[in-house]
Structure 1
Amino acid sequence: MNGSTPQVPGTYVFDAAESRRARALNRLCGSLKEAENREKFKADEVAYCETYGLTVQQRDAVLRRDWNRMMELGGSIFYVFKLAMVDQRSMQYLGGVFTGMTTEEFAQALKAGGRSFG
């Protein structure tokens, strides 16, 4: 990450440098808002990744659905979530992945006030 961006342990700061670094990844994920693109992606995920010019690391993270790695590579949660929706995954599911909880544990933590994530 950019050395001038404040670091918060356990988090990813999405700033302009990260946006540029992950442009291809975020463009791919953002494209999935269109039904036609979701069908193309599901038909051949590798070819779809090639269309967007993902790096090897980005492509690997997308194909393995390594949500944390996508974030490490500069993915924006707002775009990455569009990929999760292709797999019928909820924001609570991703929240659980990012915090090391199950979906149910994460949802319960939110109901309890949300700030007690481990």
Structure 2
Amino acid sequence: MTDKPYHDIPGTVLFDAEQSRKGFHLNQFCMSLMKAENREAFKADERAYLDRWPMSEEQKQAVLDRDWNRMIALGGNIYFTSKIAATDGLSFQQIAAKMSGVSQEEYAQMMLSGGRSVEGNRSKSEKR
């Protein structure tokens, strides 16, 4: 990873060219779920379907675990990984709540109240 000024924002992974390269096959797998026959194949045997893709074992395990934050850290793009959620019948709000560690109701209220506080969530360099 190169030294980029935005890599020090707590809890934030920005999807840049480096992340795009790292998650290319993960994101291609996610996009494959746009086709009904691929969703059916994935739901029938998740592991076998994942093994069709040249992803890292860590990426595959993150998908199997539905570890949304790990998928993002491993190069997943939220708009692509949301295809997995849709395949599972989950809304974007439901996965955002899981990623934030709060209930869906708490997440909705946080967003209606203006979002997460910036306190404690700024660049570490701004704390000096």
Q: TM-score by structure 1 length?
A: 0.91
Deviations 1:59-106 (A, max 9, x none): 111111111110110110000000011111111112112221111110
Match of 2:103 in 1: 102
Report the residue type matching 1:108 in the other structure.
Q
Distance in structure 2 (CA, Å) of the matches to 1:4 and 1:115 = 24
Looking at both structures, which has the greater relative contact order when contacts are Cα pairs under 8 Å and sequence separation is at least 6?
Answer: 2
Match of 2:125 in 1: none
- Asked if residue 48 in structure 1 is aligned to residue 43 in structure 2, the reply is no
Work out the number of aligned pairs and report it.
118
Deviations 1:21-63 (A, max 9, x none): 1111111011111111100111111111111112110111111
Distance in structure 2 (CA, Å) of the matches to 1:93 and 1:45 = 21
Match of 1:28 in 2: 29
| Percent identity over paired residues | 47
- Structure (1 or 2) with the larger CA radius of gyration: 2
How far off its partner does 1:5 sit? 5.4
Distance in structure 1 (CA, Å) of the matches to 2:19 and 2:83 = 18
Match of 1:58 in 2: 59
For residues 72-87 of structure 1, what are the structure 2 equivalents within 5 Å?
Answer: 72-87=73-88
Distance in structure 2 (CA, Å) of the matches to 1:48 and 1:35 = 14
Judge conservation of contact 1:5–1:13 (CA < 8 Å) in 2: no
RMSD: 1.6
Match of 1:4 in 2: 4
SS in 2 for 1:51: coil
Distance in structure 2 (CA, Å) of the matches to 1:15 and 1:43 = 33
Distance in structure 1 (CA, Å) of the matches to 2:83 and 2:2 = 26
Segments of 5+ residues of structure 1 without an aligned counterpart are: none
